[in-house]
Chain A
Amino acid sequence: KAGVTQTPRYLIKTRGQQVTLSCSPISGHRSVSWYQQTPGQGLQFLFEYFSETQRNKGNFPGRFSGRQFSNSRSEMNVSTLELGDSALYLCASSEGLAGALLSYEQYFGPGTRLTVT
């Protein structure tokens, strides 16, 4: 099976702009989670989608939003970009809800490196 893919791999934006990142999960996986990775903060959970519905949400402002399509592909949007949004954004897919009690294994993509200038 093909792994998790993320596009684009690299992105440079300026403050105030908005950006959309895309994630294609492993075939058959219904859950997609998004994380922000920065050197000082490690990985911080953004949200998890399952069957087109947001099931879990981290502590990020409303500028960060996402959605999931019927084919399980997911997009993440960040509006009004700030310098502090510069980070590696990771997407992970799993067969079921990763944040649930049974906790399915997550498979990570290579990430999208976003630089905000």
Chain B
Amino acid sequence: AQTVTQSQPEMSVQEAETVTLSCTYDTSENNYYLFWYKQPPSRQMILVIRQEAYKQQNATENRFSVNFQKAAKSFSLKISDSQLGDTAMYFCALNEKLTFGTGTRLTIIP
């Protein structure tokens, strides 16, 4: 069965610092997609970044990048130059059976 594990329930960093959120997953599929979603307080969930498993190059979206290690089934999210608006719950997700992790609550400290 597919699983997604986020082992960091909460994290906090100073504004402008870099932070890395961890995610591991398990799937029997060879082709799949991985996602990071962001849910700000009292606001709607939005897609941050996506990675296609057959692409070796790590996805990047402005200050957000991933470290995708397919053999290790690891998919971490790095946020550079963190901003106050990055404060949110972050969910790692796998497209198979639309499986989400339990989330990491990230707080950016001014």
Instruction: Summarize A's interface: helix, strand, loop or mixed.
Output: loop
Please indicate the chain B residues that have their CB under 8 angstroms from the CB of A111 in the complex. Answer: 44
| Contact, CB under 8 Å: B98 / A98 | yes
User: Whole-angstrom distance between the alpha carbons of A35 and B95 in the complex?
Assistant: 14
Residue in contact with B46 in the complex, picked from A45, A58, A108, CB distance below 8 Å = A108
User: Whole-angstrom distance between the alpha carbons of A47 and B109 in the complex?
Assistant: 37
The smallest beta-carbon distance between B37 and chain A, in angstroms, is 8
User: Whole-angstrom distance between the alpha carbons of A105 and B35 in the complex?
Assistant: 9
User: Whole-angstrom distance between the alpha carbons of A55 and B6 in the complex?
Assistant: 27
The smallest beta-carbon distance between A33 and chain B, in angstroms, is 6
A70-98 CB mask vs B (1 if < 8 Å, else 0) is 00000000000000000000101000001
Please indicate the chain B residues that have their CB under 8 angstroms from the CB of A92 in the complex. Answer: 45
The smallest beta-carbon distance between A112 and chain B, in angstroms, is 13
| Contact, CB under 8 Å: A45 / B99 | yes
Smallest CB gap from A110: residue in B: B44
Please indicate the chain B residues that have their CB under 8 angstroms from the CB of A110 in the complex. Answer: 43-44
| Contact, CB under 8 Å: A103 / B33 | yes
B24-53 CB mask vs A (1 if < 8 Å, else 0) is 000000011100010000011111001000
| Contact, CB under 8 Å: B95 / A99 | yes
Q: Given that A41-B102, A105-B50 are known contacts, is A99 also in contact with B97, CB under 8 Å in the complex?
A: yes
| Contact, CB under 8 Å: B98 / A99 | yes
| A42 contacts chain B at the CB level, 8 A cutoff | yes
| A101 contacts chain B at the CB level, 8 A cutoff | yes
